[in-house]
Amino acid sequence: MSVFYGLYSAMLVGATPILLAAIGGAFTYYAGIFNIAMEGMMLVGAFCAVLGSFFLHSWILGIVCSIAGALVMAGIFVLFAVRLHTDEFLTGIALNLFAVGLTTFLLRDIFHVKGAFTDPRIVAIPAVTVPFLGQIPVVGRLVSGYNAIIYVALAVTVVAAYVIFRTSFGLRLRAAGYNAACLNSSGVQTPAIRVWSLMLCAICCGLAGAYLSLGSVRLFAENMSAGRGWISLAAVILVSGNPWGVGIISLLFGFFDGLTVFLQGSAIPTQFTAMIPYVATLVSLYFYSVRKRKA
Amino acid sequence: MNSVLIDLQHISKVFPPATVALSDVSVSFRSGEIHALVGENGAGKTTLMKVLYGLERRDRGDILLRGTHVDFRNPREAIAAGIGMVHQEILLIPEYTIWQNVVLGAEPVHALGALDIRTARERVARKIDEFQFNLDPDAPVGSISVAARQKVEILKLLYRDVSVLILDEPTAVLAPQEVGQLFLELQHLRDKGHTIIFISHRLDEVLGLSDQVTVMRRGKAVATSPASRLTKEELARQMVGRSVVFAAERSPAEPGEPVLVAQGLTVRTTDGRDALDQVSLQVRSGEILGVAGVEGNGQFELVNAIMGLSTIAAGSLFVQGIDLSHADILTRRRFISFVPQDRGRMGASLPASILENAIMTHHILDRSFRRWRGLALNYRRAIALTRQIQHQFDVSMENAAAPFQSLSGGNQQKVILGRELLLEAPLVLMDQPTRGLDVGSTEYVHGLLLDLRNRKKAVLLVSADLDEVFTVADRIIVMSRGQLVADLRTEETTREEVGYYMLGGKDAVHAQADI
């Protein structure tokens, strides 16, 4: 039983940052932006979260800083890809590389450490005990006692699905992706919709980053996003942006991510277990393409 | 007489560096009239309307709406002032339903930005009823006909309460009966007080529908007159600046041996539907066979099946007795000259040079284009062929190394025609060869087709333009839903009969009742 609970919570821990970033990616996907900058937004978010939490002694302010950092990244993306019409792919790559360099530099410049920075003065995001449900045996352990951001991620998924499919903003957002010329001729400025989608993406990625550095652990390590932004991109593309699908895929990737942690210390060399999430991504892409060809 | 609603005064527009699109154009549109704007391609009709609509900036001139100066910076401002434009290419989202497309950008909402679906649907349904459009608001736009999509575009503007509708060549994609239906609806709109500006180069339509006609030629407004005082010949003379012969001189056909023999051609789509369903046809030498039909009824698949661009699921294809059913494209090219419908994508490479486009296929099939065992191209030969096309097909171009897209549409088509016809293949397959060409170039292509017939080539002409089919074809076959539904001799049929077959099924019964 404890093996099951261990895997279960490892899955949630692994899935949360991917889910948040992928929901962010879903907004830009529907808006017709080829946005690969989730990785960079998440990394900058993770760094700013530690920065905020350490100096302002509050995890809430940490999250605020994280979102602000990701928004600055989104602002750069907007300036180049939306305003100046540079290539979205190149802009995304540049931002991701910039994020690695910037956070590594600031880590050394502000905290004077190499590799990772951890300090008792960093305030972590607390876990939440769900009232009533938490009391029930078995179920209680499945739904209660997890990090606050995990619950936020669930809420974000539901809200995203609502916004995308049920609101007038969602109608315009999807129209921007389906046919921008049509949206323009309907009197809506497509660039404005795209800017909004990037802002929403940045908020989601900021939350994902905050979870990485203040949720599951309490430290910032160089390049700690470790490809999760790319995996979230894979999740978005696999399900064509649908938030519910993103949720399921994220849980799947989270499961393999959790498996990696779980298998550490077993007989299998860590070099192999660390491959699991990425191999899982490739395998899912393969099955996806097979299914698509049959359809 | 109704009052002047829109007054365009001395509008000029120069596209840099020195293309004068509009020079000192003045036109007045009165409220409650259908006002046609006619002219050849490039005469400036669309540009003039884009200037009015805020899509193009003018260099000089004034626009007055109900006597006050206006200056729309974008379509949104024009729509807010009650002026809407339906473009040539239909801009809708196929994934959305009709009501979603109509309300996009002006959605009724609940609190918190939630879409008020019920109100939206009701408003759209009410507009549909009011204007008798016969549309289902819940139908996905991807599943409705082109004519219906056009109505959705109009509906979208009516939903925004525009009183002036600008329609840019709305009939280009419609069957004759659908054109009739559209005109009834437009007249209905006019009777409800809307003003309609109608861009066209089809003279019959213009005379039948409009109250006023303004003719444009080379960026100038030539004349505005009431339609009742104009004849087709007069209109054509104003448009082209000279008299135009409408009926191409066509001697009786003297067909020889069958060149193309197709039996039971079937093309299946990936979802298992027969896009081309058991089509059998013959084209003999010295004969032009016209393929009519509303677009999307298997004509494109027929062309692809003949050219080897799609694999046939069943059937056989012989040209001059040689089995080409499963031959590769290069083999087919030895027997078939092919002018595809999409000049810019399949017919030519737009950024490549004129010369490179002119020698395509020739440089593979004709060994004299090779040097050093095919490692290099014989440029002298390539230039010679380009010059030959230029002279023989009357292409106006300066530099063979210039990009293909620097040529006008008519000249692009002439280069493609020249390239294909100089292959001297026994079968000539032309898919919409005059689409988007002006009256002069169209006349030229039709002459060329008749000349091919005299030289005993077999010609298969696919065209959405019934006038064209009736002008040049000896026999007309009609396609509907992937099937060949009629095989008629041109002299023994009428446009109405062909239109009846084009619509097929239930629609056909209605259509006949209307006539």
Query: Domain holding B80: CATH number?
Result: 3.40.50.300
User: Residue B513: what pLDDT?
Assistant: 39
CB proximity B113 to A under 8 Å: yes
> Do B431 and B383 belong together in one domain?
yes
- Examine the pLDDT at A161 and tell me if it is beyond 90: yes
Instruction: Examine the domain organization and report whether B219 and B263 are in the same domain.
Output: no
Which chain A residue has the Cα nearest residue B53? Answer: A185
Q: Are strands B458-462 and B287-292 parallel, antiparallel or unpaired?
A: parallel
Q: In the numeric block, which tokens belong to residue B431?
A: 């898919």
**Closest-CA residue of chain B to A185:** B75
What confidence tens digit (pLDDT) does each residue in B179-215 have? 888 888 889 889 988 999 999 877 778 888 899 999 9
Complete edge-to-edge strand list for the sheet that includes strand B483-489? B336-339, B427-431, B458-462, B287-292, B475-480, B483-489
Closest CA relative to residue B99, chosen from B115, B129, B123, B134: B123
- State the total domains in chain B: 2
> Which pairs with CB-CB distance under 8 Å and at least 24 residues apart come from A145-151?
A146/A9, A146/A12, A147/A13, A147/A16, A147/A211, A147/A215, A147/A216, A148/A215, A149/A16, A149/A20, A149/A125, A149/A207, A149/A210, A149/A211, A149/A215, A150/A12, A150/A13, A150/A16, A150/A211, A150/A215
If you search the block for the tokens 């410049």, which residue do you land on? A109
Same domain, residue pair B181 and B270: no
Q: Provide the whole-model pTM.
A: 0.74
Per-residue pLDDT reduced to its tens digit, A233-275 = 989 988 889 999 999 999 988 888 888 877 877 788 888 888 8
| A264 or A75, greater pLDDT | A75
Give the Å distances, CA to CA, from B305 to B72, B310, B312, B314, B324: 48, 5, 6, 10, 10
Judgement on whether residues B33 and B155 belong to the same structural domain of the protein: yes
In which region does residue B417 sit, left (phi positive, over 0), alpha (psi from -120 to 50) or beta (all else)?
A: alpha
Q: Domain span at residue B189?
A: 4-240
Query: What average pLDDT does this structure show over A17-38?
Result: 95
Considering only residues B63 and B143, tell me which one the structure prediction assigns the higher pLDDT: B63
In this structure, the answer to whether residues B397 and B321 fall within a common structural domain is yes
SS3 at position B472: helix
CA gap A41, A38 in Å, rounded: 5
pLDDT given for residue B507 in this prediction: 46
pLDDT value of residue B250: 67
Q: Are B113 and A168 in contact (CB < 8 Å)?
A: yes
Q: Is A167 an 8 Å CB contact of chain B?
A: yes
Of A169, A174, A182, the CB nearest to B91: A182
pLDDT of residue B106: 87
As given in the structure block, the two tokens for residue A69 are 């950092």
For CA atoms A88, A89, A90, A94, give the dihedral sign. positive
pLDDT of residue B134: 82
Determine whether the interchain pair A185/B106 forms a contact, defined as Cβ–Cβ distance below 8 Å: no
- Structure confidence by residue, pLDDT tens digits, B16-46: 766 778 889 999 999 899 999 988 767 888 8
pLDDT at B247 over 60: no
Q: In which band, very low, low, confident or very high, does the pLDDT at A110 lie, cut at 50, 70 and 90?
A: very high
Contact call for residues B394 and B414 (beta carbons, < 8 A): yes
In whole angstroms, give the CA distance from residue B148 to residue B143.
10
**How confident is residue B246, by pLDDT bands cut at 50, 70 and 90?**
low
Residues 152-181 of B with CB under 8 A from A: 156, 160
Q: 3-class SS at B483?
A: strand
Contact B113 A167 (CB under 8 A): yes
Please write down the long-range contacts of B374-382, taking CB distance under 8 Å and 24 or more positions apart: B382/B355, B382/B358
Q: Cβ contacts (< 8 Å) between B112 and chain A: which residues? A: 167
Mean pLDDT, rounded, of chain B: 86
pLDDT at A108: 94
- How close B172 gets to chain A, by Cα (Å)? 20
Mean predicted confidence (pLDDT) in B221-226? 88
Amino acid (one-letter) located at B6 = I
The average pLDDT across B451-465 equals: 90
How far away is chain B from the Cα of A120, in angstroms, using its nearest Cα? 42
Residues B217 and B265 in one domain: no
- B1-16 pLDDT, tens digit each: 568 889 999 999 987 7
Listed residues B240, B274, B301: the one ending a domain: B240
* Closest-approach residue (CA) in chain B for A176: B93
B32's tokens: 């409650």
pLDDT of amino acid B18? 67
- Residue ranges per structural domain of chain A: 14-225
Confidence class for position A138, pLDDT limits 50, 70, 90: confident
Give how far B108 is from chain A: nearest CA, Å. Answer: 8
Domain boundary among B240, B275, B304: B240
Residue A95 has pLDDT above 90, yes or no: yes
Q: Are residues B227 and B277 in the same domain?
A: no
Burial profile B42-64: b = 16 or more Cβ within 10 angstroms, e = fewer: bbbbbbbbbbbbbbbebeebebe
Ranked by mean pLDDT, the top range of A98-107, A139-148, B293-302, B308-317 is: A98-107
Q: Which of B74, B89, B93 to mutate to test the interface with A (most CBs of A within 10 A)?
A: B93
pLDDT in tens, B333-373: 999 999 998 887 888 998 999 999 999 988 888 888 888 88
- Give percent of chain A above pLDDT 70: 98
Q: Are residues B27 and B78 in the same domain?
A: yes
Phi, psi dihedrals of residue B267, rounded to the nearest 5° = -125, 130
Measured between CA atoms, how close is B104 to chain A, in angstroms? 6
Grade residue A223 by pLDDT with cuts at 50, 70 and 90.
very high
pLDDT over 50 at B515, yes or no: no
Q: What is the pLDDT of residue A226?
A: 86
Confidence check: pLDDT of B326 > 50: yes
Question: Rounded distance, CA A145 to CA A127, Å?
Answer: 6
Chain A nearest C-alpha distance from B134 (Å): 23
Residues B148 and B284 grouped into a single domain: no
State the alpha helices, DSSP H only, in B198-320.
203-209, 232-240, 299-307
Residue A28 and residue A92 in contact, taking contact as beta carbons nearer than 8 Å: no
Is the pLDDT confidence value at B177 over 50? yes
Q: Does A183 touch chain B (CB under 8 A)?
A: yes
What pLDDT, on a 0 to 100 scale, did the predictor assign at position B235? 81
Residues in A closer than 8 angstroms to B109, CB to CB, are 167-168
The verdict on B175 and B287 lying in the same domain is no
- The answer to whether the bond into A120 is cis (omega within 30° of 0) is no
Domain identity same for B179 and B275: no
Mean pLDDT of all residues in A210-230? 91
Let me know: does A250 contact A15? Beta carbons within 8 Å. yes
Closest-CA distance, A106 to chain B, in angstroms, reads 40
Partner A, chain B 445-504, Cβ-Cβ below 8 Å:
none
| Residue of chain A with shortest Cα separation from B160 | A186
Distance between CA atoms of residues B511 and B500, nearest Å: 7
- Candidates A30, A165, A168: best to mutate against B (most CBs of B within 10 A) is A168
Q: Is the pLDDT of residue B506 over 60?
A: no
B112, A167: Cβ pair inside 8 Å?
yes
Chain B residue with minimum CA distance to A175: B93
**Of residues A4, A3, A37, A7, the one with CA closest to residue A21:** A37
Average pLDDT over residues A110-127: 91
For B115, which of A168, A183, A187 is closest by C-beta distance? A168
Question: Cβ of A178 under 8 Å from any chain B Cβ?
Answer: yes
- Is there a single domain that holds both residue B228 and residue B291? no
Cβ pair A167:B104 closer than 8 A: no
- Count CB pairs under 8 A between chains A and B: 59
> Which has the higher per-residue pLDDT, B153 or B503?
B153
Q: How far is A164 from chain B (nearest CA, A)?
A: 10
Residue A185: both structure tokens together: 């001729």
Q: Does A196 touch chain B (CB under 8 A)?
A: no
* 3-class SS of residue A268: coil
Cβ–Cβ < 8 Å for A87, A34: no
